[in-house]
Structure 1
Amino acid sequence: MRPRALIAPARRQAALRQELWDRAVETRREWLEVGVSTKPADHTVSEEIIASLYARHGRPRPEFIRVPSPRAAIPYLEGLPTHDDLRSWLGDRRPPGRFPLAGDIAAGLSQLRSALEAEFTEPPRDRTPMKRRKGEAWPVLPPGQALDSGLPFHEMLIQGVRNALFRSLAGIYLPVRSALAHAAGPVPVGWYGQQDAAWLAHVDAIRRTVQPHLRREREFAEWSALTRSAGWWWPGEHRCVLVDRPVILRTEPVPHAWHEEIRLVHIEYADGWSVTPAR
């Protein structure tokens, strides 16, 4: 049996971890609302933040082109790099010219995400932490069992916030992207605006639970504001295509999901272009 002197601290630590998890769930729900919003995009905010990203990567402010749907963006996407184009820059025979802006933004964002997600301190434990062998993945567990078994809290955030929200939002943008590719061929590298919320929710959950002050807070705030204000967008060297948000977005819960995941039923844009995934 545990010494009586250890029982009270363990109970406090268990209550703290439950409270932190409740905050993380609320954070995930807030960002899911952003991801499925049909409120009009705030192009004024989006343009200013995107212009600052251009400046950060040594480009002048672009011409902004606003379109009502991803389908309406097709005429303006010619010449923008695809993922295969960016991968070609990693080989020995690089294409001529300057590395595409989309690649610069993606690389900068990857570094930012890694730095932000590394700012994590595990909260006090109420029990012996779960162990794993070197190279093994952590088990995927429902939240109650994860708390009871001593799964690291950061792994709980990864599973229950970042990964869960990614599944929900990728389940919206991937069918739209697939329909766009069917209509126009390979889709250039771009960002999904509000539907890029999964990594932001993860970092925000870290902020609201164990690390309230981030060293790169300004950049996090910038991407947060962009995600809250934007629809899809494609950055070119001299112009940036901004897509309005959908006017209809219907989803349904994923049966038996542990973290309130959803899936797309129907999405429609102001110009009438719509996508209904096959069931």
Structure 2
Amino acid sequence: MGLTTKPVDHTTTEEAIASIYARHRRRRPEFVWVTSPRAAMPFLDGLPTHEDLRRPQFPWPLASDIAAGLSQLRSDLEADYTEPPADRPAPKRKKGDPWPVLPPEQALAAGYPFREVLLQGVRNDLFRRLSSVYLPVRAALGPVPVGWYGHQDAYWMAFADVLRRLGLTPLRRQHEFETWAALTRAGGWWWPGEHRCVLVERPVTLRTDPLFVEYGDGWAVH
């Protein structure tokens, strides 16, 4: 899903984002669609950067509210995780040391905690794959405001979904989860402003080895 070039579902994407705006007490925004991240740049003036969000301010910009709300949602989705019974003792390691990275089959065979297997094999692996695409694209733009990556944010969604499907976490905040899941399945990059949201169509070509990403207006990163 995160590497798809399937066209964006405009209706589903707009409804999901409107729901996120409503949760943070904002009205439905004007939606501006562009064909590439480069084409979005003229519409992003005045939106906050990550540096802006680190400075105390009131009222907080919408991007700050969304980031804080999403962070809490992700924490809640993983709260009260239940580790399945182990069929073998976990290997010893020094307290505080990270688990060595292993393929899922080897990690299971070695007795890793199941949550660690899922972290390495689902969330972290997807993050590496997807960030290897969106980070070079973002770097090619230069400094950009705070935004989200739609289908390329699938790494955390997939991890939370696996935990829920396996019954390892309780079903918390179902509506919010479904809203972000719908946005991940349907959308691409987006930048939220107080009254206007700028959205990007997905690329028409995406190859990873070597990286080549091309959008409908011809703008490409490779």
**Normalization by structure 2: what TM-score?**
0.95
CA-to-aligned-CA distance 1:61-86 (integer Å, 9 cap, x gap): 11110100000001100000000000
Query: What is the match of residue 216 of structure 2?
Result: 270
Deviation (angstroms), 1:55: 1.1
CA-to-aligned-CA distance 1:91-148 (integer Å, 9 cap, x gap): xxxx4x4101001000000000011122421112111233443322222222232112
> What amino acid maps onto 1:59 in structure 2?
R
**Percent of aligned positions that are identical:** 65
Q: Is the 8 A contact 1:42 1:229 kept in 2?
A: yes
C-alpha distance in 1 between matches for 2:146 and 2:175: 25
Query: What is the match of residue 163 of structure 2?
Result: 206
Query: What is the match of residue 18 of structure 1?
Result: none
Between structures 1 and 2, the one with greater helix share: 1
Deviation (angstroms), 1:213: 4.8
Q: Is the 8 A contact 2:104 2:120 kept in 1?
A: no
Q: Which segments of structure 1 move beyond 4 Å, counting only runs of 4 or more?
A: none
> What amino acid maps onto 2:218 in structure 1?
G
> What amino acid maps onto 1:99 in structure 2?
W
Q: 1:216 aligns with which of 158, 165, 173?
A: 173
> What amino acid maps onto 1:140 in structure 2?
V
Deviation (angstroms), 1:45: 0.8
Query: What is the match of residue 85 of structure 1?
Result: 52
Q: How does 1:177-256 map to 2 (within 5 A)?
A: 177-181=138-142, 186-211=143-168, 213-252=170-209
> What amino acid maps onto 1:192 in structure 2?
Y
| 1:101 has 2:62 as partner | yes
Query: What is the match of residue 115 of structure 1?
Result: 76
Q: Is the 8 A contact 1:57 1:104 kept in 2?
A: yes
Unaligned runs of 5+ in 2: none
Query: What is the match of residue 50 of structure 1?
Result: 17
C-alpha distance in 2 between matches for 1:142 and 1:62: 44
Q: Is the 8 A contact 2:14 2:31 kept in 1?
A: yes
Query: What is the match of residue 258 of structure 1?
Result: none
| 1:126 has 2:87 as partner | yes
| 1:61 has 2:15 as partner | no
Return 103-112 or 218-227, whichever deviates more: 218-227
For residue 80 of structure 1, give the secondary structure of its aligned residue in structure 2.
coil
**Normalization by structure 1: what TM-score?**
0.76
C-alpha distance in 1 between matches for 2:118 and 2:168: 13
Q: Is the 8 A contact 1:35 1:194 kept in 2?
A: yes
Q: Is the 8 A contact 1:46 1:229 kept in 2?
A: yes
Q: Say which structure, 1 or 2, has more relative contact order (CA 8 Å, 6+ apart).
A: 2
Q: Is the 8 A contact 1:267 1:274 kept in 2?
A: yes
Q: Is the 8 A contact 2:19 2:179 kept in 1?
A: no
CA-to-aligned-CA distance 1:163-188 (integer Å, 9 cap, x gap): 0000000001001000111xxxx110
Of the two, which has the highest radius of gyration? Answer: 1
For residue 170 of structure 1, give the secondary structure of its aligned residue in structure 2.
helix
Cα RMSD, aligned residues only:
1.4
> What amino acid maps onto 1:275 in structure 2?
V
C-alpha distance in 1 between matches for 2:145 and 2:43: 11
For residue 54 of structure 2, give the secondary structure of its aligned residue in structure 1.
helix
Q: Is the 8 A contact 1:122 1:210 kept in 2?
A: no
For residue 189 of structure 1, give the secondary structure of its aligned residue in structure 2.
coil
